[in-house]
Each structure stands twice: as C-alpha cells, then as structure tokens.
Amino acid sequence: MAEVRDTTPAALVAKALARYEEVASVLRERLGRPLTFAEKVLYAHLRHPERAELERGVSWIELDPDRVAMQDATAQMALLQFMVADLPEVRVPTTVHCDHLIQAERGADDDLAAARVTNREVYDFLSSVSARYGIGFWEPGAGIIHQVVLEQYAFPGGMIIGTDSHTPNAGGLGMVAIGVGGADAVDVMVGDPFTVRMPRLIGVRLTGRPNGWTSAKDVILRVAEILTVKGGTGAVVEYFGPGARALSTTGKATICNMGAEIGATCSLFPADDHAVAYLRATGRDEIAALVEARLGSLEADPEVEEDPARYFDQVIEIDLDTLEPQIVGPATPDLGRGVGSIGREAREHGWPLELSSALVGSCTNSSYEDIARAASVARWASARGLRVRTPLLVTPGSERIRATIERDGLLRDLEAIGATVLANACGPCIGQWHRTDIEPGTTNSIITSYNRNFPRRNDGNAATLAFIASPEVVVAYALAGTLDFNPLTDELAGERLPEPEGLELPSAGLAREVRGFVAPPADGSAIEVRIDPASERLQVLTPFEPFEGGDLVGLVVLAKAVGKCTTDHISAAGPWLRYRGHLDNISRNLFLGVQNAFAAEPGHGWCQIHQADEPLPEIARHYRDAGQGWVMIGDENYGEGSSREHAAMEPRYLGARAIIARSFARIHETNLKKQGMLPLTFTDPADYERIERDDRVDLVGLDELAPDQPIRAVVHRPDGTSFDLELRHTFSEDQIAWFRAGSALNMIRQRHHH
Ligand code: F3S
C-alpha cells in the first residue's frame, strides 16, 4: 500500500479526478438532471454510486474519503482505538497535526519549548504510532491542521474527513471536507466507509467583488447573520456565481471554515483560476495542471447557475459590491452588523468600549492575503509613529506562512506597531491562552479574526465579550483601542485610514521549505508505540470481551436520566479532556452531568452494593469490580450533541450491558453499537416511567438477536413481582456481528487474522 505513504499525492489526485468525472456522468444519467458541484463530489465518493439512495435529509450514504486528518487532542483516542484493530497500517492516507496543545503565553519560541515539555508523552505517542502505522506526522510548531491541509493535501473534487469541527476549511479548494468524531476517523482508517445522512443543499450566489475594507471574512459573517447558528444544520453550503470567482482560495477557505458556525456539514467552492494559482504557489504544479485541465467540470453543471432554486433546497444571494465590513458578537457569531454601528450598539448594551486584546490569525484567517492586508494598515500607522492601543497577538497558521510573511517583511510591519507573534498553533483560538492581564470574572471586550466567540472560548473567562471581524479590521481596532470607531470614516492622528491592500499570493510563491513534517518509514512494523505505563494521560486499550452468550439476567439499573442527556452529560469536557487518551481516568467523569430520577443531585445515584447515595462513576465502577452487570435508562434523544466516542466507550468499559432509552441520537446509537453495547428503545415509550430504582432487568433471547426482531426484557421488582417489556433495536446483520465480537474493532481484528 505504497500510495498511502505517498506524501506528494499527485497520483492519488489523478485517480480521484478520474472517478469524479466517471461517477458524475453515471449519476447525471441516473437522476436525469444536472448536478451541483457538491453533489458531484459527494457522489464521486459513494461506495456504491450505482445503487445508493440519495434522498436529501433522509437517506444514509456511505462515502470513501480520500484522506483523514486528525489534530493532536482528538487523535489520541482515535489512534488508541485503531491499534485495537491490529492492522499493519492505515488503509486511507492519514496525517496527524500537533496544534491544539500549545499554550500561548510569551511568544512562539518559549511557548513551543514549554509545550514540548508538558506534552511530551502525547507527542511521543503520536509520533511513534504514526510511524508505526504509516501516518504522516506534523510536529508541534509546523502549523494548524486546517492550514496545513489546505497547503499540502486539499484538491478540488476530493474528500477529506478530519477530527476537528473546522475541517471544512478545505472547501476553499473545492473539497468536501467534513469534521467528524474519532469513531468515524477510525472507521475510515480501517477501511470502512464514512456514513452520513445525505445532506440538504444550500446555494449561496455571490455577485460583485469585495472592495475597500470588505473581505471574504465579511461574506461568512453575513451568511451567519442570515442563516443563524442553526441554519446550516444537516446541509452542505455550495457557493457559486461571479462573486465566488472574485475571491482568493484562502478567502474561500475562511468562508468554508466558518460554515461550521452555522452548523453546516461542510461548505465548498468550485475550482477556478485562483485554485490553480494556489496549487502552484504551494508547490503542487502537477496537481495544478490536473485541475486546470478540468476547470469547466470541477463546478456545478451550467444549468444550476442559471436556475439555482431548482437544484438547491435554499438559495441566498449576497452582493459583494455593497457588503459592508462586519463585526459580530459578543457570544455568538450570528449577532452581526456593519462596523459603522458597533460603537452605538456597544454603548446601548453597556459592553465595554475599550478593547483589552486584539488577536489576528488562527486556522480561520492567517493566509498570506490576510496578513498582507492587515500589515498594510500597520505599515501606514507605523509611518505616522502610531502604535497599537490594545495588545495585538498574531497567530500564523503554519510555519510555511510564518516563514513567508517574515521573508516579505509583513511580520516586521506588524511588530513595528507592537504586535506579539505567537506559535503556529491554535493558542487563544481554542482557549490555550495563559492570560494574566485580566482578572477572571472581569467584564472586558476583545476582538479577534477567529471563528468562535462563545463565552470562555478564548481565555476561559465567561465575562470576556469576544467580537469577530476580518484581520485588517481587527488591526484597525487595535490601533484605535476602542469599539467606538469606524475604520471606514474615523480618523487616527488626524487622518483617515487607507483602504487595506495586499496580494492574494506572493509573486515568489510561498516559502518552499516545509518544516516539521515527518513522513512514516516504508515499513513501520518494527516500531514500538511509546506509551508510558505510568502515564495518566494515555493508556493502551484492552479489547472488550466478546458477548458470552445466553440471557443477561439480574442487571441493576444504574440510573434513569430525566430529560436531556447529551454526550456532554455522559462524558463532560473541560478539565477531563486532559485524560481523553486514558480510558480509565476519563471514565471517572461518567454520567456526572446526568439528572437521575433516583437522586437529588446531578451525577449521583443509589449504589445497590453500599446501599448509599454515591457519584454515578463510582457506583458503575463498584458494579464492574463486583461482576454486576448494569443498564442505564435514557429519555428522548439520548446521546445528542457532539459525537465524542468516550460517551460510548466509558459505560462499556465500566460494565454497562445496555442503554435502554425512549429514543437515541443516531450517531451515538451507532457509536454504542461499535463498542459492543446494546442500545435499545422501549416499544412503548411510556414504559420508561415504569422503571424503578431497585428493579433488576433480564434481557432474554440475545442469542437469537436478529434485525427488526424485538427483544424481551423481564423486570423484577424487589417485592418478588415482575413484568415483561418489549424493547426494540436497529441492529443490522453486520452490527449484530460487532455485538457478538465485543466491538466493531474486534471484528476487524478477527477478520484480519483469519
Ligand atoms: Fe480550531 Fe482555531 Fe485551531 S478553530 S483548529 S482551534 S486555530
């Protein structure tokens, strides 16, 4: 499988594009109509294009992505799970990017050195597991996952999944790029398809061209205002029209990146001359030529642009000629307005006008064009002896971008007005910001060019009000030091600011040298994966036991969740994320957020062994250690929210045999099945009410478990009475095999060894 290890994947791209064209014509025929670009790319990755059902918002489709990318926080559990499958190497090209664990405090060099010490065991694990299984490894400091993917791996017509919500960034270069949970990444790495509901399609028609202070960032801020944070749920957002062709590739990437803020599955732009130029500037001439030869086809069929309402479920239009630069926030990205009115609004709401920090860059906005435009404002200011009135922090998206903007003097321009350059990593964008200038709890305003602004996101302080704008607008506000300023009309030092300007790509191309990448060796089988047995952050996973057969009798009821029970209630984030690579340690958070019908305090329950009220994770552990099986009872839509796999692994690890709920969130239900658990629903949802604290449950006839056949449960009351319940499941034949083997990964291991 040499091509999996190929890090200059022109051959892969050629193959993917050939399939793209072939499948597009098959599907155009089959559906009897023209196709949008998103449809073509999705269909090209269907495992069974000839027979897949494709009803939008309804059918579940199986896709084979071209690549997988993982950041260092989510990669830990995904790769520990991959190891359970015991395959010699990943079956789809995969990369790991160390960007999330570097804390911003003093500047790039110091912060990076500190991160290498604090996270050494994580980096040791990720680099060794990558080398072992044929995965490309990007060291800390090499860059932020989405920038590196755009520069190295993205190509029009391709598909990538990534274990990070802003993976859709690669849509700027015409990719279907979807942010997924670790369990999905594991599926694809072991050669199984990625399953997702066929998305709805939202078309965004852009006309005009950005001018003056308006940039690509303002397009997505405006889209967020129109569609709101929920408006893109279950949808792919496809941009088209003359305005799309007026935007740089990196500008398009910013728009697709922030499509995550409206809940979109992904966003994408068709390929155009900017895409070809970007591929060349990033040293991928061969791929550029492949794309250039197909420019007319790496976009929607022409009929779509003529009559978009026929082909999209929803169409919105934005005229770039009249779009004002936007500023959104605080607390949510869909609270938007033009820069002209933010001062008045802030005064009305009592938001502090004074800005305590201004931050530029991150995965969202650190392209050459972004920094060049921001630096042009800085240059004008330093020529007039001005410096920032608000501390300005700059996060380059990758080492390549950093080296390029240093080479071209842009960093110097920013430093000349007082900017501090941070490591090429997420830093304050993901809350990795050791902030000492503001006491926690103090209300203060900051402005960033990032993508998220909910409370605590950047500095952990719920009282910080975060506003988002383009990098050039952020620099203008850093110079003004206050929100009560309109960069378009107000003056600094007696002069109006000039309109920002900057090249889309440097004429000399991006810096050629790529630093921080470690290619896997041709044969990694002799490499030992480094996990310190004493580590509190990482732990080798022991495969779960196969189903022992027979009926499961006398299961106790751990708890009955009342109302919402999201994956966050099941496995809380926050400080627990430190243990995301250590199943035993992170399991100590199991169900801590759950409101249990049988206890007053959330996260508590009645321990049948100690006959006492105790925290649920402790009770579960007592049961497991005593060999006492248990079930969890759930309400409606159990397991909604983020797809984190820990929420399925932890109950399994602590001895749960089944989760019995009124209904499940589909992704979590599948995750439970993958871990060898039984997600079951009450045939009569009212039966939920009948389960009591001291009941014991038998699950009968599991040896005959079959698709569409209900399961019988017998509930025994402490007084000796009992009653029958009918439960349902959604297991397919294949999934039943997971249950019998103990987990989906056990299945793969068995298959591989036979
Ligand atoms: Fe995500 Fe920001 Fe990093 S959105 S990838 S945290 S730079």
Which residue's C-alpha comes closest to atom 2 of ligand 1?
429
Residue-wise pLDDT for 253-288, tens only, equals 999 999 999 989 999 999 999 999 999 999 999 999
Q: How remote is the CA of residue 224 from the centroid of ligand 1, in Å? A: 18
Residue 288, domain member (yes or no): yes
Residue 79, domain member (yes or no): yes
pLDDT confidence of 2, banded at 50, 70, 90? Answer: very low
Same domain, 290 and 154: yes
Residue 233 has what pLDDT? 86
Same domain, 358 and 431: yes
Same domain, 303 and 411: no
Nearest ligand 1 atom to the CA of 362 is 7
Residue 410 has what pLDDT? 96
Residue 600 has what DSSP assignment? S
Q: Pick from 188, 89, 87: which is nearest to 130 by CA? A: 89
pLDDT confidence of 104, banded at 50, 70, 90? Answer: confident
Residue 671, domain member (yes or no): yes
Domain boundary among 287, 319, 351: 319
Domain total of the chain: 3
Same domain, 301 and 342: no
Residue 126 has what pLDDT? 98
Same domain, 431 and 314: no
Domain boundary among 496, 527, 561: 496
Q: Which two tokens stand for residue 329?
A: 């926030």
Same domain, 254 and 205: yes
pLDDT confidence of 8, banded at 50, 70, 90? Answer: low
Rounded average pLDDT over 74-81: 96
Residue 604, domain member (yes or no): yes
pLDDT of 643 above 80 = no
124-163 in b/e form (b: 16+ CB < 10 A) is: bbbbbbbbbbbbbbbbbbbbbbbbbbbbbbbbbbbbbbbb
Torsion of CA 138, 143, 146, 150, to 10 degrees: -90
pLDDT confidence of 432, banded at 50, 70, 90? Answer: confident
The CATH number that applies at residue 487 is 3.30.499.10
The CATH number that applies at residue 592 is 3.20.19.10
User: Does the beta carbon of 363 lie inside 6 Å of ligand 1?
Assistant: yes
Same domain, 478 and 607: no
Catalytic pick among 5, 91, 97, 99: 99
pLDDT of 252 above 70 = yes
Residue 534 has what pLDDT? 93
pLDDT of 202 above 80 = yes
β-strand partners of 12: none
Residue-wise pLDDT for 713-749, tens only, equals 999 999 999 999 999 999 999 999 999 999 999 999 9
Q: Is the peptide bond before 521 cis (omega within 30 degrees of 0)?
A: no
pTM, 2 dp: 0.92
pLDDT of 240 above 90 = yes
Residue 522, domain member (yes or no): no
Same domain, 298 and 440: no
Same domain, 417 and 358: yes
pLDDT of 88 above 50 = yes
Same domain, 469 and 570: no
User: Does the beta carbon of 72 lie inside 6 Å of ligand 1?
Assistant: no
Rounded average pLDDT over 82-98: 95
- pLDDT-wise least confident of 51-60, 216-225, 566-575, 600-609: 566-575
164 as an active site residue: the answer is yes
Domain boundary among 470, 496, 522: 496
Catalytic pick among 132, 222, 400, 644: 644
Domain that holds residue 54: 2-319
pLDDT of 237 above 90 = yes
Q: What contacts 653, CB < 8 A, 6 or more positions away? A: 544, 583, 584, 587
Nearest ligand 1 atom to the CA of 146 is 5
Same domain, 569 and 665: yes
pLDDT of 707 above 50 = yes
Rounded average pLDDT over 523-547: 96
Residue 735 has what pLDDT? 93
pLDDT of 1 above 70 = no
User: Does the beta carbon of 146 lie inside 6 Å of ligand 1?
Assistant: yes
Residue 12, domain member (yes or no): yes
Residue 296 has what DSSP assignment? T
Same domain, 375 and 300: no
Of the residues 70, 163, 166, which should be mutated to test ligand 1's pocket, given the most ligand atoms within 8 Å of the CB? 166
User: Does the beta carbon of 362 lie inside 6 Å of ligand 1?
Assistant: yes
Residue-wise pLDDT for 294-346, tens only, equals 999 999 999 999 999 999 999 999 999 999 999 999 999 999 999 999 999 99
Q: Compute the distance between CA of residue 170 and CA of residue 556 in angstroms, rounded to an integer.
A: 48
Residue-wise pLDDT for 456-496, tens only, equals 889 888 999 999 999 999 999 999 999 999 999 999 999 99
